[in-house]
């Protein structure tokens, strides 16, 4: 089930408000500085590709409808999850990813990938109609990344970077929180409802500030798309090790956490519907030099 929701967030000027660092990312408020975490996902690339959630069709359709042509650059493309969705919507997608293990999986799915960090990637004069980044833009320096995006996008092209925000049922979220507090107290679990100023709003504001400081873009907008996915116990336990916050846990702690989460899902009936919101930070490349 998908429910399209687009929301314009009025211009925010100045510094991003001070928020608890884990609201931006569990690693801290500047996750792009933690390169080891950014490059950890390829340790089990097949699991990542198998288990990570996709993105709502309504979001893909809205982005594709708003761009001037079919040439799309996917920054931090990983195993090509989002790239395949945009390809299937009629785009020609080039991926850039820092991890050769992730890139190899994407290539097996027919996605062309160049291995590099985005900051060091050589576009070789190529220009694109859109730059997307799925669950990855926080690993890019927000100002340097925005400045490079301005250089590789054609005037009228669109930057659209997005994240999935997960919200389990309230009863299950409370059970999850008890497990995390007992086993991994420094690790924030998914919440049953987003606070007024949630982590994905923080990611939007950080992205918007980077775009404004770099120049070359119109006023950033925030779009939100609600969707749902049902998970069995085993499907959800397959997702958790692919998340950077869990990959950093000691092996024994992760095993204990997964056992506790599995027991909580079993007590809930063996499965649950996760409510997701795909949050998009987007802006259009102006004609001015970036």
Percent of the chain, pLDDT > 70?
A: 81
Q: Summarize the confidence of residues 180-203 as an average pLDDT.
A: 71
Neighbouring-strand partners of residue 5: 224
Query: Which band of pLDDT confidence, cut at 50, 70 and 90, is reported for residue 36?
Result: low
Q: What sections of the chain are H helices per DSSP?
A: 21-24, 35-38, 45-51, 57-65, 81-88, 100-108, 142-152, 170-183, 199-214, 233-239, 244-247, 251-267
Q: Mind listing the pLDDT tens digit for each residue in 235-250?
A: 999 999 998 888 889 9
Q: Domains in the chain, ordered, with CATH?
A: 2-167+195-225+278-284 (3.40.50.150)
Q: Which residues have CB under 8 Å from 240's CB, separation 6+?
A: 246, 257, 258, 261
Query: Which band of pLDDT confidence, cut at 50, 70 and 90, is reported for residue 33?
Result: very low
Q: Mind listing the pLDDT tens digit for each residue in 135-183?
A: 999 999 999 999 999 999 999 999 999 999 999 999 999 999 999 999 9
Q: Summarize the confidence of residues 65-70 as an average pLDDT.
A: 98
The predicted structure's pLDDT at residue 288: 53
Query: Which band of pLDDT confidence, cut at 50, 70 and 90, is reported for residue 118?
Result: very high
Q: Is the pLDDT of residue 63 over 70?
A: yes
Higher pLDDT, 24 or 208: 208
């Amino acid at each position: 089930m998908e429910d399209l929701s687009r929301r314009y967030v009025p211009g925010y000027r100045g510094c991003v408000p001070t928020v608890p660092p884990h609201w931006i990312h569990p690693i801290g408020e500047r996750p792009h500085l933690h390169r080891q975490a950014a490059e950890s996902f390829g340790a089990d690339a097949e699991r990542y590709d198998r288990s990570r959630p996709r993105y709502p069709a309504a979001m893909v359709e809205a982005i594709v409808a708003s761009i001037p042509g079919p040439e799309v650059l996917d920054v931090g493309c990983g195993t090509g999850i989002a790239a395949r969705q945009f390809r299937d919507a009629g785009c020609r997608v080039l991926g850039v990813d820092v991890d050769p293990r992730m890139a190899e999986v994407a290539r097996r799915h027919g996605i062309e990938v160049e291995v590099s960090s985005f900051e060091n990637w050589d576009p070789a004069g190529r220009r694109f109609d859109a730059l997307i980044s799925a669950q990855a833009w926080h690993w890019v320096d927000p100002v340097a990344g925005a400045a490079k995006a301005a250089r590789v996008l054609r005037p009228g092209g669109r930057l659209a970077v997005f994240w999935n925000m997960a919200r389990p049922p309230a009863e299950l979220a409370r059970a999850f929180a008890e497990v995390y507090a007992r086993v991994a107290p420094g690790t924030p679990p998914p919440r049953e409802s987003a606070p007024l100023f949630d982590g994905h709003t923080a990611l939007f504001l950080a992205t918007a500030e980077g775009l404004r400081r770099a120049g070359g873009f119109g006023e950033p907008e925030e779009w939100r798309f609600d969707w749902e996915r049902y998970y069995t116990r085993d499907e959800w336990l397959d997702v958790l090790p692919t998340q950077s916050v869990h990959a950093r846990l000691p092996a024994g702690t992760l095993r204990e956490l997964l056992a506790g989460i599995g027991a909580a899902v079993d007590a809930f009936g063996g499965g649950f519907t996760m409510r997701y919101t795909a949050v998009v930070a987007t802006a259009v490349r102006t004609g001015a030099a970036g």
